[in-house]
Structure 1
């Protein structure tokens, strides 16, 4: 269970990164939607795991690689936005959130599409 402080920092980071991805994504990858689905912060606030969802998912690996390459840029954006709340900005770890893919697989299975031996 996350502490109140972890939840507040996670929410702050999620809002800041969502805006940063909106601006950066429209310039670098027009036609793709990059959203931050969840941010988990360690109890000592030294590491943040940022779960990113990319739609459409046909270029998700390329976009995630570019996000990881630009991690220092995003960390700088967070340090400016969170300067009055924190002394140091945590290390950022970006993780692809594949829940949209899982939803699509379940939906296809329920509709009888794909390789479903039960139907």
Structure 2
């Protein structure tokens, strides 16, 4: 089932605002970690936002996600301060680690490390 226009619009708003929160407002909470909000999908009642995050410069990602979950209430409060006048309900946040960018980087390394011999020159057949 596809998302409604309202869900899409609200998801984009959540994605934008959380991106700014992670870049500006929570700078010291995550050390040197670089967090990108890849997507936000809303439940039909707009009460839950599932947010996909790409995290770079973090050694232990499961521990990072656990830490993020422990301060989720604080991030939700910051979100409420930003969008509280635009929406009725500040959604519950469910953070999911998006490993797509990391996988693509890994595949680039694998492909560049391959030892592929150059193709032999094509010989033109002479026709008499």
TM-score bucket of the superposed structures, by smaller chain: 0.7 to 0.9
Alignment of 1:1-119 (within 5 A): 1-112=2-113
Residue 88 of structure 1 aligns to a residue whose secondary structure is coil
Moved over 3 A (4+): none
Residue 58 of structure 1 aligns to a residue whose secondary structure is coil
In structure 1, runs of 5+ residues without a counterpart are: 114-119
In structure 2, runs of 5+ residues without a counterpart are: 115-128
So what's the TM-score if we normalise by structure 1?
0.83
User: What's the offset of the Cα at 1:31?
Assistant: 2.4
Alignment correspondent of 1:117: none
CA contact (8 A) 1:25 1:34 kept: no
Partner Cα separation in structure 1 for residue 85 and residue 37 of structure 2: 22
User: What's the offset of the Cα at 1:58?
Assistant: 1.9
Quick check: which has more Rg, 1 or 2? 2
Residue 44 of structure 1 aligns to a residue whose secondary structure is coil
Partner Cα separation in structure 1 for residue 16 and residue 106 of structure 2: 29
Partner Cα separation in structure 2 for residue 16 and residue 53 of structure 1: 16
Partner Cα separation in structure 2 for residue 46 and residue 9 of structure 1: 11
So what's the TM-score if we normalise by structure 2?
0.78
Partner Cα separation in structure 1 for residue 25 and residue 64 of structure 2: 11
